[in-house]
Structure 1
Amino acid sequence: MSKLKLFTIIASLTLTFSFAQKKDYKVTTVAFYNVENLFDTINDPTKYDEAPIMEMSESIRGDVYIKKQKGLAKVIKRIGAELSKNAPAIVGLAEIENFDVLQDLVNEPELKQYNYGIVHYDSPDERGIDVALLYQKGIFKPTHTGRKELIMYRNGSSTKRDYTRDQLYVKGLLDGDEIHFMVNHWPSRGSEEANRIKAAKSSRSVVDSVMSNDPNAKIMMMGDFNDGPYNKSITDHLHAKGKKRQVKSKELYNPFDKLFKRGIGTIAWRDTWDLFDQIMVSKSLITKDYSSYQMYKAGIYNANFLQTSEGKYKGYPFRSFADGGFTGGYSDHFPVYIHLIKEAN
């Protein structure tokens, strides 16, 4: 974490001048990244794990895996670092295969110094992908973790399950402040909208449960929602608003609504940008009480090296896999982040 210098102008009611009072603020980054099919090179006969890397020649899989991991470590280290001067304290991840690939990731030279811990549960997803949360052990202390299974059925059937990712819940102390995190990867756009609405209701039920015990709980809802800030799943069922003044008690604030309206996205398809990767926060994280962490700003990390440099996809996320091969890229999504700040002691 770094110390951010802010200047608060305090106007006197009885005098005609004002003066500046300098304060120091701690800055920390919370990030989310869909890492595009982070699979190992081992075929697991107990589940479907035919990711792009497994479709390649066995002789090159190991080299591709190493390059993929090194690339992701390079990205994660830099998310939000221009302000925090540190790697993210918290990183939610989507499209990871298992605990082993996470262990390899946090042991990469670019990340090892940050001593990341891992929260992960195997989920029954039919693609073999899970969500996870990484945390710097020196900054965040988990006190409770769990998962919520999203139960769906195919084409209105009451017996044929449509298996998807679990929703991950982690509560803990971020530099002493209790914060609740949820990591999501909702059903894809190839699925019915009703399934993402069901996912939203499931996530919302966790928020309601937390707030029934503590109406002022600090909650951060992150993920690849496969819906934008404008979709009903986000606005009507997750109850996330795009303007701070609209946020009522127990609702969420979605700072990525503003970014989307400025034409900024995390994924691109047929020359159209969308913003499926988002982090939303509860009302208690957008107050002016900086004695504990508050949201300072939200952003999309889309550095030049993360963008396709030429051709018809110039400017798109530089994805890892295309046309049956490894491109040398990172992911088909840009990562997103929020900076939190609080007064330094």
Structure 2
Amino acid sequence: MLGEITSENSETVSFYNVENLLLPVTGKERIRGGLKNWNLSRYSNKLHKIAHVFDIIKENKGNLPFIIGLGEIEGAKPLNELLALPPFNGDYGVVHYESMDERGVDVAMLYDKRRVEVLVSEPISFFFEIADNDPENYDTTRDVLFCKVKFKSKIINVFVLHLPSKRDMDVNKPKRSYILKEIKERIDILLKSEESVIVMGDFNENPDDENLAALVSSDFGRKLFNPFLELFRNKNYSTYHQRFGLLFDQIIMSDDFITGKSGLQFRSAEVFNDLKISNWDRKFRGRPFRTYAGTRYLGGYSDHFPVLVQFK
């Protein structure tokens, strides 16, 4: 028996789509990335809000996640300013690459520098042809971030992603399918080499969608495990669109985290929907307290809740 999980014998990994952490506008500019009147004061408030989320996680779980994936970040500057704040206090490092996303937002990985060593990292870029045989006419999307890290003498391969959005009758589904197929090929090579894998991010698909089912399927012995499928079936949601609850944010792992062969044994997964970061409006109670609703500034945290996985 593994016994009770406590802050002394547990470790946490998290992912958080922070909803447009963009640099503030300058000069006479009033709109940035679709955000109206996005100024220095609102930017600073956003940084402190995100830091406060992880302060709440630390208070709730007893420690900070040793690896944190983030989505919707504009460049390295906001990340460095975030990590200077409590509860990070300069103890966390960051891996980030500029992508060719049309909105200028990327993914990143934060890690506890005292316990995690980044061995290798790279952005995995994708280009989609728009016009036949025209190399100058292509569409881009956010990179997938890959990091090979060492944690407590164990090697873990981490993929952080934010797949193309669901919009306009889901025209981006073929792009998501293509990206996940490419990532799965890389993951299968790692699994066949008996390596540990964690895939985290905003998939813009629910855990029971066909692309996610294909990602965790396997034609050989080892495979991936998605604990967020059960959460979704039990109506746990990380974000909402109109009246629909969605669980686009997920952390998926290789099966050695189930057996404990990775050195970390999976115990639980959750949508971190703490009341302190939730909306208190009667109409939207229980949903994430977001920064913007359309063009209207609300001053909240994000339109997504963080997701967490705990290991023993």
Q: TM-score, normalised by structure 1?
A: 0.81
Shift of 1:231: 1.0
Gaps of 5+ in 1: 8-22, 242-246
Letter in 2 for 1:26: N
Q: Which amino acid aligns with 1:255?
A: P
CA distance in 2, matches of 1:203, 1:32: 18
RMSD: 2.6
The DSSP-based 3-state class of the residue aligned with 2:127 is coil
* 2:174 aligned with 1:203: no
Equivalent AA in structure 1 for residue 274 of structure 2: A
Cα gap change, 1:284/1:336 in structure 2, threshold over 3 Å: closer, same or farther? same
Q: How does 1:235-250 map to 2 (within 5 A)?
A: 235-236=213-214, 238-239=215-216, 249-250=221-222
Question: d(CA) in 2 for partners of 1:153 and 1:75?
Answer: 39
Fraction of identical pairs, as percent = 31
**Out of 40, 59, 72, which is 1:62 matched to?**
40
1:123, 1:165 within 8 Å by CA — same for their partners in 2? yes
**Alpha-carbon separation, structure 2, partners of 1:178 and 1:274:** 32
Instruction: Give per-residue Cα distances to partners, 1:164-193, cap 9 Å, x unaligned.
Output: 100000111112211111000001002331
Aligned position for 1:15: none
Q: Which amino acid in 1 is paired with 2:96?
A: H
Deviation of the 1:131 alpha carbon: 0.3
Q: Contact between 2:290 and 2:298, CA under 8 Å: does it hold in 1? A: yes
TM-score, normalization: structure 2?
0.90
Which has the higher Rg, Structure 1 or Structure 2?
1
Partner residue in 2 for 1:129 = 105
- Aligned equivalent of 1:305: 276
Contact 1:38–1:101 (Cα < 8 Å) also in 2: yes
SS of equivalent residue, structure 2 residue 299: coil
**Aligned-partner SS, 2:284:** coil
Aligned residue identity for 2:16 = Y
Which contiguous aligned blocks of 4+ residues in structure 1 show a shift greater than 4 angstroms?
155-159
Of residues 240, 244, 265, the one that matches 1:294 is: 265
Deviates more, 1:279-288 or 1:24-33: 24-33
Aligned to 1:186: 163
Residue 242 of structure 2 is matched in structure 1 by 270
Task: Supply the AA of the counterpart residue of 1:186.
Answer: L
Is the CA contact 1:71–1:330 (under 8 Å) kept in the aligned structure 2?
yes
Distance 2:51 2:174 in 1: 35
The aligned length equals 304
Which amino acid in 2 is paired with 1:265? Answer: Y
Q: Of 8, 21, 33, which residue of structure 2 is paired with 1:51?
A: 33
Equivalent position amino acid for 1:35 in 2: V
SS of 2:80's partner is: helix
User: Aligned-pair distance for 1:87?
Assistant: 1.1
Following superposition, the deviation at residue 24 of structure 1 comes to: 11
1:285 aligns with 2:257: yes
Output aligned runs, 1:72-151, within 5 Å.
72-79=50-57, 81-83=59-61, 85-112=62-89, 115-151=91-127
Query: 5+ unaligned residues in a row in structure 2: which ranges?
Result: none
User: CA–CA distance in 1 between the matches of 2:132 and 2:282?
Assistant: 42
